[in-house]
Structure 1
Amino acid sequence: MINLKLREVKNDLSIKELEVAQYITTHTQTVKNMSIQTLAKLNYVSTSTILRLCNKLGYSGFSDFKVDLISSSPQKFSTDILQDDINLNDTLEDVNRKVQAMEKSSIDDTHSIVNLNALDNAIDLIIASNKIVIFGVGSSGLVGKELEYQLIKIKKDVNCHFDAHISRSIVSTLGKNDLIIIISHSGETPECVELLKLAESLKVPSIAITKMGQSQISLLANIVLHTTSMEHASRLIPIRSKISQISVMNMLLTNLFIRKYDEHLLEQTQSREKRKYPHHK
C-alpha cells in the first residue's frame, strides 16, 4: 500500500520529498528499521522534509508511517495494460479489456488506501447531521446525485444541485449541526473550494471525497476520503476517478445503512421483494 500511496501523490511532492520517496521505494525493508533522523541523514534532508512527506501520504507522523510500512506487503502492479492509453484504432475486444483492467485496478487501489478512521468519522457525521448539502461538478456531480438518492432512503434532509449558486444559497442557511459533502477528483475545483470556504466561515462540518495528496479541498475539509488519482493522458472518460468515487460512496453507504438499519429499511426491503416476486409467499 505504501508504494501505491507514493505513486498517487508523486505529482504533489517537492524534489527533495520525491527523492526520499524513491529511496523508500527502493529500500523498503531497510527503512522499516530506520529512525527518522537516519532516513533524513541518508537523503541529505531535514526531518521536517520527512514529516511533510508523511503528511502528504496521509499519515499523522513518521511513527504512523512506519506502522503501515511494516505491515504492508509488496504489491505487484500490472503495467502491460494499465499504463497503455486506449487508442482510437483499438479493437472492440482491446477496449473492453482495458476498461475492465482500469475498473478493477481502481477498485483495488481505492480499497487499499481507505482510511478507516476517516470513514468511520464520516459515517458518524452523516448520521448526526440535520441537513446535508452535496456538491460536485461534471461526473462528480452525478456521483453526488446518486449519494443524495441513497441518503433519502434513510430519511436524511439532503440536497444535491448542479448549480453552484443554488448550492451556495443553501449552504448559507446551514449551521454547526449540518453538513456539506464535496466531491472533486482534482481537489481544486473552484466552485467546490468556494463552498468549503463558506462552510468553514459558518462552522459547518465538511466531508471531501477527493484524490490523495495536498489540495485546497483536502486542506479545507474536516474529513477527507481519498480516491485514486491515476488517469492517463487520453482520458476519453474519467474511468479510474469515477469508479474510485463510486467505490468510496458504496463503502460509505453500505456501512451507513448497516448502522441505520431499522423497521423503515426493513419495510423497504420487503416491499421491493414483493414487487419483484409478487407470487412468492
Structure 2
Amino acid sequence: MDEPGRTLLSRIEALRDDLTPSEARVADVVLASPHRAIEWSIGAMSTAADVSEPTVARFCKSLGFSGLKEFKIQLARSLGETVGTPFVHQDVTPDDSAGDAALKVIGRAVHALEGFGSRLDSGVLKSAAVAITRARRVEFYGQGNSGVVALDAQHKFFRLGLATAAYSDPHVHAMSAALLGPEDVVVAISAGGRTLDLIRSVEIAKAAGATIVGLTTRGSPLARHCDLTIATDVEEDADIYAPMTSRLVHLTAIDVLAAIEVGPKLAGHLERAKQSVREKRAAR
C-alpha cells in the first residue's frame, strides 16, 4: 500500500485533487482529524464530511483499499509510524498466543479511551452532569450489553443521594418513561444507537417532558432524539465478538459524569454510603 517513507496522510494530500468533490470532502475531514478518523464508523465519517456512506466507501476504494476497515488499519499504522504510538486495530484470531491476544485487547481498549478523551465536548459533559444532579429522578436505559452499563451507572449515582433506577427490559423502561416529567432525566445508553425499543422509550420520555442524555454514536438515530449527546463513537466488529471497548468507553463516560458534580452535599451522601459498608469488610 504505502510507499517506503511515505505516510498515508501524505498520499491522501497528493491524490486529493484527483478525487471527486464529495470524496475530497472525506479526504479533508481525515486530514483534519486523522486520529478521530480511526475511530469513526462509516456513518460517523459520512456525517463529519456531510456526504453519503457510499461516498465514504468510494473514497476508500479510490485510495486502493477494499473498504473502510482496511483503510483505517493502514491509517492507524501510518500514524503509528509518524508519532511513535501503536494505533493498529486488529481483532484477536484463533492463532494468537495468550500474550498476543492480551496485547491486542488492552491496546485496543487504551486507544479507544484515548480517542474518547480527545473528542470530549466539555460543554456537553458539564450540561449533562448538571441536569443529572439537579433532576428529581434519573433513569438509565440500556439493552443487552448496554443494560449492564445502565446498572453500573445506577450504582454510581444512587450513592450520591439521587433518586435513580436502571431498566434493561424494553417493556419496563417504556412504562417508566411514560411516568416521567419535566424535572426528570433519562440517560439512554447504546453503542450503535439503532435499538428500536430503546429509541421508542426515549421518544415516550421526551414527550413526557424529560431531558434525554444519550451515550451513543454521534449522528445515530438515538442521538437525533437526545437533548444532549455524549459521543462515544467506537469502531467494533460485532460479528466477531460482543462489544468490549464500547462498554469501557461507556463506563468511563459514566465515571466522568459522576465526578463532575460531586460538591460538598453530594460528597457527604457518598461518605455516608461508604461508611455503611465499612463494618461489612474483614480486617486487614
Flag whether TM exceeds 0.5 (same fold).
yes
Query: Could you tell me the TM-score, scaled by structure 2's length?
Result: 0.69
Q: Is 1:140–1:184's contact at 8 Å kept on the other side of the alignment?
A: yes
Task: Give the alignment partner of residue 224 of structure 1, picking from 222, 229, 241.
Answer: 229
Q: Distance in 2 between matches of 1:277 and 1:170?
A: 39
Instruction: Give the aligned length.
Output: 223
Bigger Cα displacement from structure 2, 109-118 vs 233-242: 233-242
**8 A contact 2:193–2:223 mirrored in 1:** yes
Q: CA RMSD in A?
A: 2.9
Residue pair 1:184, 1:209 contacting (<8 A) in 2 also? yes
**Equivalent residues of 2:191, 2:232 under 8 A apart:** yes
Residue by residue over 1:95-116, the C-alpha shift from the partner in whole angstroms, topping out at 9 and shown as x without a partner, is 1110110111111111111110
Contact 2:181 2:210 in 1 (8 A): yes
- Superposed CA offset, 1:222-243 (max 9, x none): 0001113211465413122111
How many angstroms does 1:21 deviate by?
A: 3.1
Please say if residues 141 and 147 of structure 2, whose CA atoms lie closer than 8 Å, have aligned partners that are also in contact: yes
Query: Which residue of the partner structure matches residue 39 of structure 1?
Result: none
The Cα offsets for residues 176-226 of structure 1, whole Å up to 9 and x where unpaired, read as 0111110001111101110111122222111000023x1111111000011
What is the TM-score of this pair, normalised by structure 1? 0.70
- Is 1:23 matched with 2:28? yes
Which residue matches 1:150? Answer: 156
Other structure's SS at 1:118 match: helix
Mapped pair 1:163 → 2:162: no
Answer with 100-109 or 265-274: which moved more.
265-274
Gapped regions of structure 2 (runs ≥ 5): 1-19, 34-46, 52-77
Match in the other structure for 1:193: 199
Could you report, residue by residue, the CA deviation over 1:9-33 in whole angstroms, capped at 9, with x for unpaired residues? xxxxxx86553131354478xxxxx
Deviations 1:102-136 (A, max 9, x none): 11111111111111000000111011111122111
Deviations 1:234-255 (A, max 9, x none): 5413122111111111111122
Choose from 245, 251, 273 the match for 1:246: 251
Shift of 1:260: 4.6
Distance 1:105 1:122, change over 3 A: same
Paired residue secondary structure (1:257): coil
Which amino acid counterpart does residue 132 of structure 2 have in structure 1? I
- 2:140 maps to amino acid: I
Matched, 1:183 2:189: yes
The code of the aligned residue for 2:147 comes to G
- Is residue 2:118 matched to residue 1:112? yes
CA contact (8 A) 2:87 2:111 kept: no
Identical amino acids, percent of aligned pairs = 17
For 1:235 and 1:260, the matched residues in 2 are separated by 45
